[in-house]
Every structure is written in structure tokens, then in C-alpha cells.
Amino acid sequence: MWFKNLRVYQLNTPLTLSIDAMEQALAEFRFSPCTGQQASSSGFTAPFESTQNFCYQNQQFIFFALKRQEKILPAAVVQDEMQPRLDALEQEKGRSLSRKEKDSLKEDVTFELLPRAFSRSQTIFACFDETNQRILINTSSSSKAEDMLALLRKAFGSLPALPWLDPYKLSAKLQLWLQNQALPNGFTLGAEVELKAPDEEGAKVRFSNHILTTDDVQSHLEDKLVTRLELEQDERLSWKVCDDGSIKGIQYHDSISGHNDELGWEDEEARLAADTLLMCSTLAESLDQLADSVSASADLTP
């Protein structure tokens, strides 16, 4: 339930659908397992086992989940099935098959094997913060996040969502933050950073479990750009902010993750409500502080 990675999107036009309208819209694009020769299938599912609805609302936060199933068909299996047919056809024709003919044969073999392939499923969770008009998707993958947004757009009719941070401002602030300047309110430097040279070679360097203010780290700012930087927020969380606006490796402080332990799990609905509200409220406040720092004007000259 606790989000570990984030792709965040800001709506430039408020989403005003009622919870009932959202529920009905997502139900029309519900998940169905792959059938026959279908290679993959995607659709919405209930975000939590204890709920049957496609939307789970807790105050200003609305959760939903996208389930994707795909057939697992290793290339070696396709090749093993294809090779005897390829050899037979080439012997029959007295020549090597063209690339187009080989591709066609491969498609035929794949089509035949799909019904016997194993299936793999994955569920991506997301939360709509109605107050801030943000969508938080629990993934570090841009393609998986875009899959979620694409199906939401189909379901809702439109969804004018854009990445929540200006990449140019964020890149400049990452440089400053590593120098321990203009950090977001309440945050301090963590112990991990990754830098990359902007030239064609793109030389990379990564420091982990390291004091980031030391000269051996700071010297890399002369010819490299920060691509990922760990920030810590006392008694709340730590995370790694990436130059594309994604957030990875979220770790919640014990005072947050264990805050509701006294409730136990006898009443699952009550515990789910308490944990989801705590997580989302924590993330919303921390994201606000990060966004405020990025958007604030500052001297961006190292």
C-alpha cells in the first residue's frame, strides 16, 4: 500500500467528476484476462482487496489501480519452434528466405504459441489528490505511468495532465541542492547522488552512503549534472529526486510507517483508511515543499 516510487502529474484543468461518475467510467474499462492469441490485456481493478469498487476515496484522495497481464513467450522458445519450419521452407524453395518472409513466419509461430504461454500480471496503483489536482502514480517507469494516464483519458474523456515540475528549473535546483543551497523546506542532503556529463560520452559517477558535501563529490559539479539526489526530511521520509521529475526509493520514517500500528489489523477497513490518509497527507505536504523550492526564484549560478 505504501508508495515506493512516484511519477507525479499536475492537472491544468480541474477534474470535476463525482466519485460515482469516476466509478462508472473506470468500470467500463475493467480488466479482463488475456484470451486465446491475445498477447496482453490492461484494465482497471479494485485498488484494495477489502473493497469491491474501482475507486477508493479517503477525504481528498481517490485511489485506483491498473492491472496489466501479458503472455510470457521467451524468444528462445519461438526460435526453437521456428527453426525447423525455416529449414524446411528454405529447402523447399531452394533459397534463403528474405527478412520479410522470416518475420512473417515468426509472427505465425508466435500466434500459434500464445495460447500455451504463461501469463504474468502486474498492478499499478495511483492516487488522485483532489485538493492539489495532482495524480500520483506508484511507479518509476514513464511508460507504465503513461499507460495509466492513457486509459484514464479514455475513461474520463479527457485528462489534461502534465509532469508536475519544470525540468529545466529542477535540473538547476538539483545542482544547488547538492551544494547544500536553497534546499526544500525541512529537507537535508541524504547520502546518495548520481551525476552525468552532458557531452556525448556521458560519463557517470555515483556516490552511495557518502557525505555529499565533501570535495570529492562537489568537484564533479564542474563538468557534470546531477541526475539523481537523495533528500531526507526529518521524522518523515527520504527519497531520491531524479532530473526527469520522478521520485524513487521512498522510505518512510518509523514515526510515519508505524504510526497506526496500535490499531492492529482486526478492523481492516479502519486500518486501511488510517494508513492511506497518513501516507497521502505525508506525500502531499512533502511534494508541496519540493515544488515550492523548484518554482522559487533563486540565484542559479553555482
The closest of 244, 227, 221, 239 to 166, measured between CA atoms, is 244
In the listed set 133, 163, 193, which residue is the last one of a domain according to the structure?
163
In a domain, 246, yes or no: yes
In a domain, 300, yes or no: no
> Are residues 210 and 187 both part of a single domain?
yes
> Are residues 128 and 241 both part of a single domain?
no
As a whole number of angstroms, the distance between CA 228 and CA 218 comes to 14
Q: What is the pLDDT of residues 52-64, one digit of tens each?
A: 899 999 999 999 9
The one-letter amino acid code at 295 reads S
Evaluate whether 23 touches 55 at the Cβ level (below 8 Å).
Answer: yes
Residue 299, pLDDT score = 47
> Are residues 203 and 231 both part of a single domain?
yes
Which residue has 534546499 as its cell numbers? 183
Percent above pLDDT 90 for the chain: 71
pLDDT band at 181 (very low <50, low <70, confident <90, very high): very high
45 or 97, greater pLDDT: 45
> Are residues 226 and 249 both part of a single domain?
yes
Q: Which cell numbers hold the place of 189?
A: 542532503
How many domains does the structure of the chain reveal? 3
The residue range of the domain holding 274 is: 167-295
Averaged pLDDT, 17-26? 96
In a domain, 100, yes or no: yes
> Are residues 184 and 253 both part of a single domain?
yes
> Are residues 217 and 280 both part of a single domain?
yes
pLDDT band at 298 (very low <50, low <70, confident <90, very high): low
Judge whether residue 300 has pLDDT over 60.
no
As a whole number of angstroms, the distance between CA 146 and CA 166 comes to 18
> Are residues 152 and 238 both part of a single domain?
no
In a domain, 1, yes or no: no
Q: What is the pLDDT of residues 105-152, one digit of tens each?
A: 888 888 888 877 788 899 999 999 999 999 999 999 999 999 999 999
Q: What is the mean pLDDT of the chain?
A: 92
Tell me which long-range contacts 233-237 makes (C-beta under 8 A, separation of at least 24): 233/186, 233/187, 233/188, 233/286, 233/289, 234/186, 234/188, 236/186, 236/282, 236/286, 237/282, 237/286
The CATH number covering residue 40 comes to 3.30.310
> Are residues 276 and 209 both part of a single domain?
yes
In a domain, 247, yes or no: yes
> Are residues 12 and 155 both part of a single domain?
yes
In a domain, 301, yes or no: no
In the listed set 107, 142, 163, which residue is the last one of a domain according to the structure?
163
Orientation angle between helical segments 268-295 and 167-178, nearest 10 degrees:
90
> Are residues 53 and 136 both part of a single domain?
yes
Averaged pLDDT, 229-254? 96
- Write out the H or E segment, with its range, that includes residue 40: strand 40-45
> Are residues 143 and 204 both part of a single domain?
no
> Are residues 12 and 156 both part of a single domain?
yes
The one-letter amino acid code at 122 reads Q
Orientation angle between helical segments 142-156 and 19-27, nearest 10 degrees:
110
